[in-house]
Amino acid sequence: MGSTVCRAVLDAPGLELVGAVDPLHAGIDLTQLGVHGTQIQVSPSAAALVDAGAQVAVDFTVLDAARQNLAWCAEHGVHAVVGTTGFSDAELGEFAERFERSTANAVIAPNFAIGAVLMMRFAELAAPYFETCEIIELHHDHKVDAPSGTAVLTAQRIAAASKDWGDDPTRTVVAEGARGGRVSGIPVHAVRLRGMVAHQEVLFGTTGQSLSIRHDTYDRSCFMPGVLLAVQKVSDTPGLTVGLDALLDL
């Protein structure tokens, strides 16, 4: 995702790529990572962004690193666009306070694919009209967390849109976990398969009918329009914004 973001920013009109940070690849020229047309070398720490004059930092890391990076951005007045997932409500509240005190703003989104954002919105709209719902999320075999941040947010939004759900008829569980895990009362099933990227299907059912809302990601480039949108709008979006919905006027 890091090299994909670098290429997208480099190619975007009106944006300039001024730095890259990754402790594991520090000292490597971006050309070695497939990003051509720049003399930038990968830096070991975010401090290099100040020297480079960065106005916006994009974070696709892991949770522990993202926590530190967000705190650093708030402290140093650098706008943050974050695609890392797993923050608790308490942490989001803390970062909201940090960025309210900062000269910088932040956008945190569990999914930057605009189609996925629309999928969540459509599911939220459908929820009051159905009595049962389950979510199946499918990802590549290197994803270490389950369920995905997108699935968690989808379940939370569905649950917030409707409190009236049918009872689970299951009385005997032959294999533990067969009915998935529950997020805000909504069953969520996680699949990890080699060859996949990121996919999610929301299944609704009521008497005599069902509705399936599915989004499929085939390449990481699908996230880039959403990332670039956030990069371009974060400076005009005060404080902390969670999700792309506000930027898409949904």
Query: Annotated catalytic sites, by residue?
Result: 139, 143
Q: Label residue 195 exposed, middle or buried (CB < 10 Å: 0-12, 13-18, 19+).
A: exposed
Q: How far apart are CA 149 and CA 180, in angstroms?
A: 15
- Assign 134 to helix, strand or coil: strand
Phi/psi of residue 143, each to 5°?
-75, 125
Structural Rg of the chain based on CA atoms: 20
Q: Label residue 77 exposed, middle or buried (CB < 10 Å: 0-12, 13-18, 19+).
A: exposed
Q: Give the number of other CB atoms < 10 A from CB of residue 31.
A: 13
Q: How far apart are CA 33 and CA 36, in angstroms?
A: 8
- Pure H helices in 16-147: 47-52, 63-76, 89-101, 114-126
With tokens 């690849």, the residue in question is: 25
Inter-residue contact 57 to 76 (CB < 8 Å): no
- Kindly write down the DSSP assignment for every residue of 38-70, as one continuous string: ---BEESSTHHHHHHT-SEEEE-S-HHHHHHHH
